């Protein structure tokens, strides 16, 4: 069953638009952080740490995908906000602070909403290069 789920996710990632892929990344980070809040409440320190680390990995991926040359000031501001979110999550992890996690969820949710709206624009609906490669 796990293999089937991984195959489905791989297909979904390689056949979606870049904008939708960004939305999926935000969804993943938010999901991990919501789960981490439950683990903080349950005092399951190890699982909380793993979930926050997974969200941090997604934020690092989003940050690493920024193009400062093409994105200009928007990319620089997003970078600063990603660094801020990462810092807050590291603090939340150490302090077991649900409020800090909620703060980051709020920021990521705002980004998710914005990218969801942007990706609905037909000009941003071009298939990713990987999808074109596999369509041959």
User: pLDDT (tens digit, 9 = 90+) per residue, 19-68?
Assistant: 789 999 999 999 999 999 999 999 999 999 999 999 999 999 999 999 98
Its pTM stands at: 0.78
> Within a domain: residue 29?
yes
> Within a domain: residue 122?
no
Domain that residue 108 falls in: 19-117
Greater pLDDT, 119 or 81? 81
> Within a domain: residue 128?
no
> Within a domain: residue 124?
no
CA–CA gap between residue 34 and residue 89 (Å, rounded): 12
Nearest CA to 90 among 99, 100, 81?
Answer: 100
Give the total number of structural domains in the chain. 1
Give residue 13's Cα distance to chain centre. Answer: 13
Query: Could you tell me the CATH number of the domain that includes residue 64?
Result: 1.20.120.340
């Amino acid at each position: 069953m796990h293999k089937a789920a991984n195959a489905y996710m791989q297909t979904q990632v390689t056949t979606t638009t870049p904008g939708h892929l960004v939305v999926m990344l935000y969804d993943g980070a938010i999901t991990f952080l919501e789960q981490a809040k439950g683990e903080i409440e349950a005092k399951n320190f190890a699982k909380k740490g793993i979930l926050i680390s997974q969200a941090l990995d997604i934020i690092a991926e989003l940050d690493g995908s920024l193009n400062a040359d093409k994105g200009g000031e928007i990319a620089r501001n997003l970078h600063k906000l990603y660094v801020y979110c990462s810092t807050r999550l590291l603090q939340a992890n150490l302090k077991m602070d649900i409020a800090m996690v909620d703060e980051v969820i709020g920021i990521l949710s705002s980004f998710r909403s914005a990218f969801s709206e942007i990706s609905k624009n037909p000009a941003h609906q071009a298939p990713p290069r990987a999808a074109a490669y596999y369509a041959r």
